[in-house]
Amino acid sequence: MTDLFLKTEDLGRLIASVRDGGARFIAPSTDARQTAFKEVSGADEVVSDYILATNSYKEFLFPQTEVISTHKVMKDSVELKGVELEAQGTVIFGARPCEAASLAALGAVFTWDFVDEFYTKREADTVVIAVACTRGDDACFCTTVGLSPDATAGVDVMFKEADGGWAVARLTDKGSTFVEKHKDVFEKTACAPKPLFYPEKIKGVDVEKIKERLSNKGHYEDPVWPELARKCIGCGACTFTCPTCHCFDIIDEGTAYEGERRKNWDACQFDHFTLHASGHNPRDTQYKRWRNRFMCKFKFYPDKFSSKGCVGCGRCIRVCPVRLDITEVMEEMSKLP
Nearest to 324 by CA among 222, 202, 221, 237: 237
Residue 290 CA to chain centroid, in angstroms?
19
Residue number with CB closer to other proteins (18 or 268): 268
Region of 93-101, 166-174, 267-275, 296-304 interacting with other proteins (CB under 8 A)? 267-275
Least spacing, CB of residue 100 vs other proteins, in Å: 21
Residue number with CB closer to other proteins (131 or 317): 317
Nearest to 144 by CA among 324, 298, 320: 298
Residue number with CB closer to other proteins (143 or 239): 239
For residues 245 and 223, give the distance between their C-alpha atoms in angstroms, rounded to a whole number.
Answer: 26
Asked if 259 is part of the footprint of other proteins (rule: CB under 8 A), the reply reads no
Asked if 239 is part of the footprint of other proteins (rule: CB under 8 A), the reply reads yes
Helices (H), the chain: 11-20, 97-100, 102-110, 117-124, 173-181, 207-215, 224-228, 237-241, 286-295, 301-305, 315-319, 326-333
Assess contact for 91 and 26: CB atoms under 8 A.
yes
Residue number with CB closer to other proteins (135 or 174): 135
Residue number with CB closer to other proteins (102 or 241): 241
Nearest to 210 by CA among 113, 41, 100, 329: 329
Asked if 250 is part of the footprint of other proteins (rule: CB under 8 A), the reply reads no
Asked if 267 is part of the footprint of other proteins (rule: CB under 8 A), the reply reads yes
Residue ranges in contact with other proteins by CB under 8 A:
33-34, 36, 54-55, 64-65, 138, 226-227, 230-231, 233-237, 239-241, 249, 251, 253, 262, 264-265, 267, 270, 272, 285-287, 319, 321-325, 328, 331
